[in-house]
């Protein structure tokens, strides 16, 4: 247990540092993405146009800059969900009643942070869709999966607020959290691989990034991961302090 408290104290000390570092890294990545990374060539333009003294035959996609924020945020949101699934399993698997609230709190906070990142992914993705594909919404596999994922996470919290008994709330939330994570995976597979005769899957490969594009991308990825970790730890600390305060209040009332 001393090891546990020790590592927890360390994580708590690291959280603010991680937050600041994450903000710095993402800001640097943001600046690099505009100042260093080249514009991406889009579809051919019907007529060559003179823009800024240069003949342009391709549409330059400024909207592609969203990529440097959107993809890291989406990747990190999956990480948060992996933690939700992990702690849900630990909650259900453990026989130790005293440890159960420990796992439940962590699963809930992982879901909270996950939902924040999912909503950020949806917002940035939607802007990108608007400017790259010209529509606010299409039922495209990735968008559909993410919408379903967002609804599942919202449902997770609606479920939590609808139950009063703390133990039952925790168990049901763990069961639903686990199923939701599995369902998100299936949803990804099915929306992608079910043959649709009506509209083609818009398939993009963004691999083969040049170094000037890869560096801001990776910086943003690490920055976002650090921010996610820091948010998780800070929120966890706040919840744990709150729980301690409540139990102290209860003790005072009893005395």
Partner 1 sequence: MMQAPVATPSGFSQFKTLLGKDLRLEIRSKQMLTSMGIYALLVLIVYGAALAQTAWGFNILQMAGGLLWVLVVFTSLLGLNRSFAHEKEFAALDGILLVPLDPGVVFLAKAASNVIFLLLVQLIAVPLFAFFFLASTAPAATAPFIVLPLLVGTLGIAGIGTLLSTITLHTRGKDVLLAVLFIPLVFPLLYACVSATSMALLGVDDFGDYWRSLAMAGGYDVVMILLSWVLYGFVLDA
Least distance CB 247 / partner 1 (angstroms): 23
Structure tokens at 253: 């009332």
Cβ-based nearer residue to partner 1, 201 or 214 = 201
Name which of 69, 86, 79 is nearest 29 in CA terms. Answer: 69
Q: Which two tokens stand for residue 99?
A: 């440890």
Residue 205 C-beta: closest distance to partner 1, Å: 23
For residue 151, the minimal CB distance to partner 1 (Å) is 4
126 or 183, CB closer to partner 1? 183
Could you tell me the CA-to-CA distances from 215 to 16, 26, 27, 68, 143 in Å, in that order? Answer: 24, 11, 13, 10, 26
Beta carbons of 145 and 189 less than 8 angstroms apart:
no
CB atoms within 10 A of CB 199: 9
How far is it, in rounded angstroms, from Cα 154 to Cα 180?
Answer: 11
Of the pair 51, 189, the CB lying nearest partner 1 is at: 189
Alpha-carbon gap, residue 226 to 59, rounded angstroms: 35
**Nearest distance in Å: CB 158, partner 1:** 5
Pick 164 or 253: Cβ nearer partner 1: 164
In angstroms, the CA 193 to CA 126 distance is 23
**Minimum CB distance to partner 1 smaller for 62 or for 190:** 190
Applying CB under 8 A, the residues found at the interface with partner 1 are 92, 144, 148, 151-152, 154-155, 158-159, 162-165, 167-168, 171-172, 174-176, 178-180, 182-183, 186-187, 189-191, 193-197
Q: Which is nearer to partner 1, 17 or 186 (CB)?
A: 186
What's the closest the beta carbon of residue 190 comes to partner 1, in angstroms? 4
Residue 90 CB, shortest distance to partner 1, in Å, is 13
């Amino acid at each position: 247990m001393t090891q546990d408290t020790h590592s927890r104290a360390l994580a708590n000390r690291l959280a603010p540092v991680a937050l600041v570092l994450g903000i710095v890294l993402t800001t640097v990545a943001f600046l690099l993405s505009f100042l260093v990374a080249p514009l991406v060539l889009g579809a051919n333009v019907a007529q060559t146009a003179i823009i800024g003294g240069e003949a342009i035959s391709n549409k330059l996609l400024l909207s592609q800059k969203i990529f440097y924020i959107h993809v890291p945020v989406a990747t990190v949101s999956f990480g948060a969900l992996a933690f939700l699934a992990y702690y849900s399993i630990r909650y259900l698997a453990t026989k130790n009643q005293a440890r159960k609230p420990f796992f439940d709190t962590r699963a809930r906070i992982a879901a909270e942070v996950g939902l924040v990142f999912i909503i950020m992914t949806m917002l940035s993705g939607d802007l990108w869709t608007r400017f790259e594909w010209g529509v606010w919404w299409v039922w495209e596999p990735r968008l559909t999966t993410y919408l379903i994922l967002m609804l599942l996470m919202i449902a997770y919290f609606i479920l939590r607020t609808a139950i009063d008994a703390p133990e039952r709330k925790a168990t049901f939330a763990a069961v639903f959290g686990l199923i939701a994570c599995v369902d998100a995976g299936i949803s990804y597979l099915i929306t992608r691989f079910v043959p649709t005769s009506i509209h083609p899957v818009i398939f993009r490969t963004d691999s083969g990034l040049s170094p000037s594009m890869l560096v801001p991308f990776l910086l943003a990825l690490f920055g976002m991961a650090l921010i996610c970790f820091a948010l998780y730890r800070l929120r966890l600390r706040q919840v744990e302090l709150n729980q301690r305060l409540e139990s102290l209040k209860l003790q005072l009332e009893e005395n």
